[in-house]
Amino acid sequence: MSDCLFCRIAARQSPAEIVYEDDAVVAFKDIYPKAPVHLLIVPRRHIASLTDARDDDANTLGRCVLVARRLAEATGYSERGFRLSVNTGPEGGQVVYHVHFHFTAGRRQRADA
Ligand code: 5GP
Ligand code: ZN
């Protein structure tokens, strides 16, 4: 079994409230939500951090971004808007080293956080 939490969630070897999945991308609820809607969008393929992404990850990462559009439609936030963010590295606040896009919505987002 992988020692990466998000690899295990993507493989359904660890529990999570999965809200979307396809062959390349999985999205699930953040266990400690920081907004009324707080979802994490991850590639199935293990990429530790954006700094480890390769040029041939472009399609996979692009698909993660497009899943955000789909989640906005599904949760009703397309018009009101949402935030998509990727914490990267120690000073970027990254805690889990498997690339993930935070999808947050449901209250006005601060400009810098
Ligand atoms: P980071 O700080 O790495 O950008 O964000 C990691 C996120 O993963 C945090 O928002 C945290 O709440 C979430 N998280 C950590 N452990 C778990 C878990 O076991 N399950 C789920 N669903 N989310 C988790
Ligand atoms: Zn992983």
Percent of the chain with pLDDT over 70: 96
**Ligand 1 pocket residue status of 48, Cβ below 6 Å:** no
Q: Averaged over 87-106, what is the pLDDT?
A: 98
- What is the 73 CA–ligand 2 centroid distance (Å)? 27
Burial state string for 46-82 with b = 16 or more CB within 10 A and e = fewer than 16: ebebeeebeeebeebbeebeebbebbbeebebeeeeb
Q: Above 70 in pLDDT, residue 112? A: no
Nearest-atom number in ligand 1 for the CA of 94 is 3
